[in-house]
């Protein structure tokens, strides 16, 4: 199910297996409300006592597998314990990683699975040419990283990075100071020597952020770190160490394409106009006015469902419920200074470009007609035709 920034379930987005759960049942499950209590929500790292928050692209196969297995059990009338099923699916996903199966499958078809290689090389080269110091911290093993980077960047990829760390075990890399760095030789074998400096062109395994900061002296907002998982990559770095952070959200590319369509803009504009009308005209309670208000409520709800379906028929946009930001959006804004669909988006800006934060209106600063706030335009189409209603 999909939850907004204030812990409310977006009705119409709850599924048991592959079947939608009726709105009435969702409300009944949560004691007559759509609200999920804080104690049931996920903790800081997205793993709460009874709810798991899916956060990144690895979540897609896990969600699909969970849904399909649940649907199979329900469809065949088989009894099962949800806790056991969740654990078995989670263990299966983990084993695919731990046993290296996923890496093997990707390595067999680099062209299919690794995207934007040329653009990645262009970004890295440009940063190095402008005197930036680059580092790579990944949970993947060296053999996989080496083959992938050779495919994208070329055989000399290590010369682009001042520090390369593999099998880092994030997020504990950022919080546990007990694990030391170990150097790997050219064949990927572990060395025994004590690490007193991090050298360019060398490969290091595991380690921890505290030693990393001590050895590099790269601290605070001078560092900009990119990752694709808000918790594992970005949260600790922003909150504990004051780094600047950039989130990579691949779905953003498609969502931006949709919000730039005429259908979306027309739907949202008229939806906001109806919202403004309802807010202004609800004081009129005679029979004819109530009938008009009811028709506006119905039309507004139809438009909300239509707008949702433009993004995804089941869940809508990953960034918004009907009107509120999603719980994911709330965490995204909290833990990232920038977010983008791909690292290659940086090619659209100069290296010395400054991104200034947008001033977001507070509720008491927002104009009465909310369409001006949501569409960003001072004059909204259609509203001029309604001037006589005001």
Burial of 163 (0-12, 13-18, 19+ CB in 10 A): buried
Please name every residue paired with 184 in a beta bridge, in sequence order, or none if there are none. 190, 203
Q: Of the candidates 121, 151, 135, which has an alpha carbon nearest to the alpha carbon of residue 346?
A: 121
Cβ 85 vs Cβ 69: under 8 Å? yes
Residue 372: half-sphere exposure toward Cβ, Cα within 13 Å = 10
Q: Is the peptide bond before 171 cis (omega within 30 degrees of 0)?
A: yes
**98, containing H or E segment:** helix 82-98
- Four-CA torsion 109, 112, 113, 119, nearest 10 degrees: 120
What six digits make up the tokens of 136?
A: 């790579």
228 carries a ligand binding annotation: yes
Q: Of the candidates 3, 56, 61, 52, which has an alpha carbon nearest to the alpha carbon of residue 232?
A: 56
Residue ranges for the binding site for Mg(2+)? Answer: 228
Residue ranges for the binding site? Answer: 228
């Amino acid at each position: 199910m999909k939850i907004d920034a204030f812990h409310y379930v977006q009705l119409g987005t709850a599924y048991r297996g592959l079947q939608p759960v009726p709105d009435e049942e969702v409300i009944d499950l949560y004691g007559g409300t759509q609200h999920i209590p804080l104690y049931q929500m996920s903790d800081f790292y997205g793993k709460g006592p009874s709810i798991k928050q899916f956060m990144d692209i690895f979540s897609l196969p896990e969600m699909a597998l969970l849904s399909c297995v649940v649907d199979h059990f329900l469809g065949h009338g088989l009894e099962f314990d949800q806790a056991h099923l969740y654990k078995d699916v989670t263990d299966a996903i983990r084993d695919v990683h731990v046993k290296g199966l996923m890496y093997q499958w990707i390595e067999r078809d680099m062209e299919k699975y690794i995207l934007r290689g040329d653009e990645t090389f262009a970004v890295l080269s440009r940063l190095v040419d402008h005197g930036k110091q680059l580092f790579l911290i990944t949970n993947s093993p060296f053999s996989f990283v080496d083959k992938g980077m050779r495919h994208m960047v070329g055989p000399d990829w290590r010369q682009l990075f001042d520090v390369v760390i593999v099998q880092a075990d994030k997020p504990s890399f950022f919080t546990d100071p007990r694990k030391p760095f170990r150097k790997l030789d050219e064949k990927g074998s572990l060395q025994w020597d004590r690490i007193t400096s991090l050298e360019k062109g060398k490969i290091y395994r595991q380690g921890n952020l505290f030693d990393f900061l001590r050895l590099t002296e790269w601290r605070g907002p001078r560092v900009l770190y990119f990752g694709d998982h808000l918790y594992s990559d970005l949260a600790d770095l922003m909150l504990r160490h004051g780094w600047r952070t950039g989130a990579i959200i691949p779905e953003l590319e498609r969502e931006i394409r949709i919000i730039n369509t005429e259908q979306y803009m027309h739907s949202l504009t008229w939806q906001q106009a109806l919202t403004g009308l309802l807010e202004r005209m609800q004081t009129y309670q005679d029979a004819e006015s109530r009938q008009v208000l009811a028709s506006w409520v119905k039309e507004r709800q139809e438009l909300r469902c239509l707008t949702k379906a433009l993004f995804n028929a089941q869940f809508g946009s990953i960034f918004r419920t009907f009107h509120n930001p999603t719980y994911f959006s709330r965490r995204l804004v909290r833990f990232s200074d920038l977010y983008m669909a791909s690292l290659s988006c940086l090619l659209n800006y100069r290296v010395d470009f400054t991104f200034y934060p947008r001033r977001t209106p507070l509720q008491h600063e927002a104009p009465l007609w909310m369409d001006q706030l949501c569409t960003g335009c001072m004059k909204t189409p259609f509203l001029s035709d309604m001037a006589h209603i005001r």
